[in-house]
Amino acid sequence: MKVIKTEFPGLLIIEPDLFQDERGYFFESYNSLKFGKEGIDYSPVQDNESSSARGVIRGLHYQEEPYAQAKLIRVIEGQIYDVALDIRKGSPTYGKWCGLIIDSDAKRQFMIPKGFAHGFSVLSERAIVLYKCDNHYSRLHERGINAMDPSLNIDWMVEKGKEIISSKDSKQPLFKDISTSFIFKG
């Protein structure tokens, strides 16, 4: 397993060891011992899976404490553009985002720590995405940021006018209007 650090403290790209032959492939998508050896303190408790069509944009989502979630994102089928937005006050990357293309061929994963809002767009005809979370879902603590906020200037790689966004996500506040308790602890 290869762990790639980004310029965003705590935001990691995980490249698992992939074994392929004429039968297909095998890889460990999560191994607590290997993560621990890499200094990643992460204990998942819930798996979420979504299926979406080309042009769907989901996000930007997060949960406040005590239900904040770190997420390990991977694509089971298809290709997405995955985005993590740093919402930790005092972080050197506060208000900035990092985007990564993830697909079912390379098996690359995105480790998104607590204190980030998360979203993705679907670049293939269909994508199945697995989110491995370290805390349970809580409707009372879920929050969002409008993915189309012009101040964020995220290029979701979806043709203009072809975006498919839920009414709930399209009504989320702009980044400047959110209030969050996340503090960067360097």
Look at residue 108 in the predicted model and tell me its pLDDT.
97
Domain membership of residue 185 (yes or no) is no
Per the structure, the count of domains in the chain is 1
Domain membership of residue 184 (yes or no) is no
Domain membership of residue 183 (yes or no) is no
Range of the domain at 49: 2-177
Rounded to a whole number, what is the distance in angstroms from the first to the last CA of the chain?
25
Question: Which residue among 61, 62, 81, 118 is the active-site one?
Answer: 61
- The yes-or-no answer on residue 61 being catalytic is yes
Question: Which residue among 42, 62, 81, 131 is the active-site one?
Answer: 131
Look at residue 109 in the predicted model and tell me its pLDDT.
98
CATH classification at residue 11: 2.60.120.10
pTM of the model: 0.96
CA atoms in the 13 A half-sphere facing the CB of 101: 9
User: What is the mean pLDDT of each successive set of 10 residues along the chain, which is 186 residues long?
Assistant: 96 96 94 96 97 98 98 98 98 97 97 98 98 97 98 96 97 96 92
Domain membership of residue 31 (yes or no) is yes
Domain membership of residue 9 (yes or no) is yes
Domain membership of residue 26 (yes or no) is yes
Asked whether 125 and 55 are in contact (CB, 8 A), the reply is no
Look at residue 186 in the predicted model and tell me its pLDDT.
79
Domain membership of residue 152 (yes or no) is yes
Domain membership of residue 86 (yes or no) is yes
